[in-house]
Structure 1
Amino acid sequence: MTSMKVTFIGLGIMGSRMAANLIKHQVELTVWNRSAASMNALEKKGAIVAASAQEAVKDADLVFSMLSTPEVVEALFLGQEGLLSMMKKNALWVDCSTVNPSFSDLASKAASRSGQVFVDAPVAGTKPQAENAELVFFIGAEKVVLARIRPYLDMMGKKVLHLSKTTKGAAFKMLVNILLAQSMLIFSEAVLLGEKLGLSKEFLLDTLPNLVVTAPFTKFKAEMIRTSDYEVQFPLEWMHKDLHLAAITAYEQEQPLYLANLAKELFAEAKMAGMGRLDFASIHQYLARR
């Protein structure tokens, strides 16, 4: 492949591991993050640490971003003094953040006006998948643009799902996360009711995840419930944020979203109870105490 100057902006739980996988494939990578610790760790692995976000992007051909909220993406990239104004003409901006489709549309139009090409590229997977390069990318882009970034996506993931034009990657991610959140709630309710009916917690956690009616990811979350160890892989506060974005999207489309909105309020309550920085599977613990 033709080598490009690559920059990664946002080095949290997901971004730091995605960037590390690019470095493993000898990509010359420039990184920037608001806090220094993750930058320092990647510098030891071979990354170039930029002094500022502006410096990180100014010479890049390809910029990946993995940030927490649409508001953070907007603050960094958009506006008169945003990163888009610092980037080269025809540079690629690949946003892996989970944002709502209407925001991706806004970002795409801003990039077009500034002379860059925007790609929405949210991912399926949490900390282990990011670490092991097993993410699934949901790509909203033209085929010719996907071909340019595909080698780098393959370094960080196991599958690329091409969803045609811009915003469709973000749209599909909305669907995935409302399924994820509600499946976790349903599994938790089933376990709690099973215990009340006299079935042992161990039996339920061993058996329910293996049934065809159960979402496969619950096999991993069952171990968290078993040990009450909710070491964060996907923070509960970000699940609440994603459900909020889904609610905004449903409102924009005039589509009722009854159960996902109920899930959103339950995750909001758990966040208010101090569980925001735990893994989203801790919703089970919240329901058990409620």
Structure 2
Amino acid sequence: MTQTVAFIGLGIMGSRMAANLLDKGDVNLIVFNRSTEAAKPLKDKGAKVADSAADAVRQADVVFSMLASPPVVEDMALGENGFVSAMAENALWVDCSTVNPSFTEYAAEVARARGIRFMDAPVAGTREPAASGELTFLVGADDEDFQSVEPLLQTMGKKIVHVGQVGRGTAFKMLVNAMLAQSMLAFAETTLLGEKLGFSRDFLMDTLPNLPVTPPFIGGKAELIRNGDFDAQFPLELMHKDLHLLEQTAYEVGQPLYLANLAKEVYGSASSSGWGRKDFASVFEFLNRH
């Protein structure tokens, strides 16, 4: 049965996710983005472009949101003119934004108070997996809601992990980003040390990513570094934001994060030095120059 689906937030990730929904799903797609230019390719494919987030969601059975930060979700979804207040009763809001777990719990409470079902489904993956429909979804939802939306998630992702109840997806995404951020720094520092020890960059870029101790994503980042091409697949400024949320979450549960907090400061310094809109692999060049 054809569903009416709204998608709010058409940035690097959201635009590609929405395109896969439109191409592969049995949906009538309505989209909204503050910058209307981002919606044009989807309009050309047959999506309806709404004038506001509220207009986008009014008739939707399912609403996906992919927004940059908790304040943006607060403004777009939960504020006085937020889209949750315009959703039909018993519609399902699937928030794919990377936010902190306590914010997810707050968003879920607001939604439930208005008769809206809620689930969190942040993603692991960057621009290219988003475009090819190969993201990993980390889902926090009750079983019935998860089963109802899984076919839509499968149009955008190759792996759908039901982590647990609402909030568990967001919590697990914090762990993923902690490993991602620190692994990138470890590779950058190791490579720079290797160069000082006399190894060529090409040798290091060919060898280090293929060792059993190296995370698989490093191979792709090594090519960005080798080519000096830091066009954002995942912007460094968002990595810094995510580490700030990680720090906040760790404080709330009473867990010290010595290394992750150091990583947050490094990414913050890189962002304020002009690398924020570049891919987070550009932290290599920041360290190289400082």
TM-score (norm 2): 0.98
- List structure 1 segments (4+ residues) > 6 angstroms apart after TM superposition: none
Does 1:192 find its partner at 2:192? Answer: yes
1:82 is aligned to 2:67: no
Deviation at 1:84, TM superposition (A): 1.2
Please state whether the residue corresponding to 1:84 is helix, strand or coil: helix
Return the alpha-carbon distance in structure 2 between the equivalents of residues 140 and 165 of structure 1.
Answer: 5
Partners in 1 of 2:112 and 2:91 — Cα distance? Answer: 11
Specify the code of the residue in structure 1 equivalent to 2:16.
R
| Residue of structure 1 in register with 2:262 after alignment | 262
Cα shift at 1:3: 2.6
- Which residue in 2 is equivalent to 1:171? 171
Q: Which amino acid aligns with 1:12?
A: G
Post-superposition Cα deviations, 1:48-89, rounded to whole Å, max 9, x if no partner, equal 111111110111110000000010001111134321111100
What residue is the counterpart of 2:202 in the other structure? 202
Match of 1:106 in 2: 106
Residue 182 (structure 2) aligns with: 182
Unaligned runs of 5+ in 2: none
Q: Which runs of 5+ in 1 are unaligned?
A: none
Contact 2:134 2:156 in 1 (8 A): yes
1:155 equivalent in alignment to 2:155 = yes
Return the offset for 1:27: 2.2
Name the structure 1 match of 2:215.
Answer: 215
* Percent identity between the two aligned chains: 57
In structure 2, the residue matched to 1:10 is: 9
- In the aligned structure 1, how far is the partner of 2:70 from the partner of 2:120? 12
Counterpart code for 2:4: K
Cα deviation for residue 215 of structure 1 reads 1.0
1-side partners of 2:195 and 2:274: how far apart? 25
CA–CA separation in structure 2 for the residues paired with 1:227 and 1:133: 26
> Any residues of structure 2 matched to 1:11-160 within 5 Å, and which?
11-25=10-24, 26-160=26-160
Distance 2:279 2:135 in 1: 18
Deviation at 1:45, TM superposition (A): 1.1
In the alignment, is the contact (CA less than 8 A) between 2:53 and 2:82 conserved in 1? no
Distance 1:41 1:142 in 2: 34
Q: Give a deviation string over 1:107-145, Cα, whole Å, max 9, x none.
A: 000000010011000000000000000000000001111
1:234-273 residue pairs with structure 2 within 5 A? Answer: 234-273=234-273
Secondary structure of residue in 2 paired with 1:163: strand
Given residue 13 of structure 2, which amino acid in structure 1 is its aligned partner?
A: M
- SS of residue paired to 1:5: strand
What is the alpha-carbon distance in structure 2 between the residues aligned to residue 243 and residue 40 of structure 1? 32
RMSD of aligned alpha carbons:
0.7
Q: Number of aligned pairs?
A: 289
Q: CA deviation at 1:47?
A: 0.7
Q: Distance in 2 between matches of 1:237 and 1:151?
A: 32
Q: For 1:127 and 1:224, how far apart are their aligned partners in 2?
A: 14
**Aligned partner letter, 1:36:** T
Encode CA deviations 1:201-225: one digit per residue, 9 max, x unaligned. 1000000000001111000000011
Query: 2:79 & 2:111 partners in 1: Cα distance?
Result: 11
- Residue 223 of structure 2: SS of its match in structure 1? helix
In 2, distance between residues paired with 1:27 and 1:80?
29
